[in-house]
Chain A
């Protein structure tokens, strides 16, 4: 079915509980249903709802991004792709072109894969999830949204309506990078998103770092980011932040890489994304 309003969706979800599954781009849910990883009696298409399919930016409130907005809208947008470099980076590498023209950032978040590419970027950009439910609307920071592999904070009857991402000043920059053994069509072995705001003297005024594929949920590397405040943006300082970021990672060994290798990559990718984020901040 395809409800026309947020309240209709909430009503359907409240009635059917987890036997109803939402369809935005469908690039995860259709595959999961087909492979028997999830089951459903009903699939609810939310793409008839304006609040879910639209996005707008203003200098005061930043970006309001409907949960079903497909990836390509972000990296193809001349202004947004510059303002939100990390988000453009990540949406550009989720699947191939076909996937990117369907798959949404909101869906990538709700799917709650530890290796999701958009989530470390959203964390770094300080994004907030706007959730509608039976008792009205609530907001949750993206870093608190995932609770485990494939699990999130959404309660019965709730769904993600949009993401709110703070406005970006002229001295901000962000970047996302993942490591994969090939050059496309792959799942992150490790992913890192970094955001920085530079002070007038060129030192780092604020920073935030998100990590993917190194724990059961995407992580926020607080100590690593804090270590940069007031510092010069040098490779040494970035490397030091990378070392601190490693301390919160608890990666596993599997066919995509060993725990030792993933730990090493955290340092490499934090350093690399910080470097790009600062370059972007300096040129913005």
Chain B
């Protein structure tokens, strides 16, 4: 878009929080220690679905060392209350009873009680003395089973909302979505080639390395202080205040350094419980989850069933699409079906399409966002069908994607028309890449490609910058830093002011000090909080012009700010630091501020190339070479963009090949540990090569698009396409683990 030469943007300075992180000095929630602090332990349901008949806590309460015990009855009644949490309204009863079960437990791991004691061992021993009488109910963990009329009902009062129409009878389906454009039925009749398949994907977890943790300190004056591992301190504050039914302003949330989130650290799990334990005991309380708790009780992302169909003309033009999607919501409504529906055909300009989507409650933990939530599942389906279409038409799989790629003006099935976007450029980058142009040779090997999309959102961000007497800046912002955002935000401020990145000292504030800022999610932080920092810099420049006018005895209009951030008035040109120092000495000190709430999506497109080899005897897949290509709009700090591309890709490879919630016959999870929930280790992936495409986003001063999420979208599809090219076996189920691939290869050989 632009040939502007930047000084700071596009360079790779050392991150501001780097030294603290690599020397172990960074303070995470579990490092937080307060005087008199107690340890909390949460007692969790052993059953997938049960009615709580009674809870007897008397023995636990009289255990020496125990200071407080909490059950569902200690939580305020929030039945039928709705709260707007910034990303749509939430039924508070669901949020509250997910933190602590009321009448029923809906999944194994569901919290039923909690104990605070002088140490965690006493708390655990006491919690085990709590007698919970359960009436075990039939349970269901497969999405299609949960949709049946005779399925065990999770919520007696839940009826389907079908685009505004409410069903009469209760079911496990809170939402049915329907999107349509053109006339898909007629278009399929006109199609020369049609491909259609059913796909299944397993429930997977974000797998952040830091388990959920919280410290709560409830003051005598009603003020509640929370230290927590969260992606959004302001949403954590609001959720906690709403669940506890206390005034928002009484809650202070301090976001500690965070060991990964990927969408899974937005919902509160432990905060209200720790707060009530603290209130009852009069002492600060810390609760940390075990890894098993994290798997069993914090948000995985949906398993799914999908039936997708695409029709094309003989020249390769896709003209018709149809999708029927059912996604796990987990124990409570509100899964990722919406973005699933919007993303299923988001990469292709298909004139006629119809999409139906179902959000389905079942006896698994409530699902959470996970990097491009809902998009990876549908890409697994669509991107395989695109390969199949190409094969049927005798086209190259890259060519058919290029022919049908969405571009500026294409309308997505859910309505929006794309502004300038970069999918064509990404596909061109595939075509130009060394990887694509290097033939893959050898038996049992295959190459696959896939495209991917994620919206990227704007939402609200704030920034404030205090100018020091030497012209350096303390930048206060409210985006918890998961992927190096402190630095990428500071770099945008440095660029606009003509400073270096290390002239800026960025700090992530708490909810009392930082201006309101929405979650670190939706690939929004470098875009929106970066924009706030840019605007705060502009605000400073405006103030400085006015003040310099007095100093220089001219009018503010006569002073201009150059590309390099220097101020020119008359025959005088001074840099930012020089003017700031001069102003300080003249008695003026400066604070710049800005709030932004961009509404436009940033539209991040990407494409990936995977080379794999399959062991024909065991079905084990080895990833030989991998290239991830993404339109970043403009990469502020290319190393962090590459890191996002590589990290997302590796998580996608794990999702593709081995990760899954493995359920036992009683619908409890069999593999709630990193030993048997198999995320890739460094020996399981090659170096992920990256190519950053920069098409420039017209809605951002430097052209930034969000990059954090799209990279997880293509891997399962790209690997499935590669596996097909290596083995002639089409994998329609995730994960494509060795036992499953071996079995599919066996059946394929038998049927041939």
Contact = CB atoms under 8 A, between A and B. Distances in A.
A265 B739 CA distance: 10
Given A187-B675, A257-B739, A261-B739, A181 B620 contact: yes
Nearest to B682: A184
Interface string A162-205: 00000000000000000101111111010000000000000000
Nearest to B124: A36
A268 B619 CA distance: 12
A255 B670 contact: yes
Contacts of A268: 617-618
Interface in B656-709: 657-658, 662, 670-671, 675-676, 678, 680-681, 683-684
A181 B737 contact: yes
Nearest to A262: B739
B10 interface: no
A254 interface: yes
A27 to B, nearest CB: 13
A179 B738 CA distance: 10
Contacts of B676: 187, 255-256
Nearest to A179: B618
B295 interface: no
Contacts of B670: 254-255
Contact of A182 (B617, B662, B671, B681): B681
Contacts of B453: none
Interface residues of A, number: 19
Nearest to A272: B617
Interface size class of B (residues with CB under 8 A): 20 to 34
Given A254-B670, A255-B662, A184 B681 contact: yes
B370 interface: no
A182 B742 contact: no
Contacts of A184: 681, 683-684
Interface in A251-277: 254-258, 260-261, 264-265, 268
Given A187-B675, A254-B670, A255-B676, A182 B739 contact: no
| Chain B contact residues, majority secondary structure | loop
Contacts of A265: 618
Contacts of B392: none
B675 A182 contact: no
B737 A186 contact: no
A257 B678 CA distance: 13
B743 interface: yes
A264 B742 contact: yes
Contact of A186 (B617, B657, B678, B743): B678
Contacts of B680: 182
Contacts of B675: 185-187
Contacts of A186: 675, 678
Nearest to B737: A181
B618 A182 contact: no
A183 B684 contact: yes
A258 B746 CA distance: 14
Interface of A: 179, 181-187, 189, 254-258, 260-261, 264-265, 268
Given A184-B683, A189-B738, A255-B662, 12 more contacts: A182-B658, A182-B681, A182-B683, A182-B684, A183-B683, A184-B684, A185-B675, A255-B670, A255-B671, A256-B676, A261-B742, A265-B618
Interface of B: 617-618, 620, 657-658, 662, 670-671, 675-676, 678, 680-681, 683-684, 737-739, 742-743
12 contacts: A181-B737, A182-B680, A182-B681, A183-B683, A183-B684, A185-B681, A189-B738, A254-B670, A255-B671, A258-B743, A261-B739, A268-B618
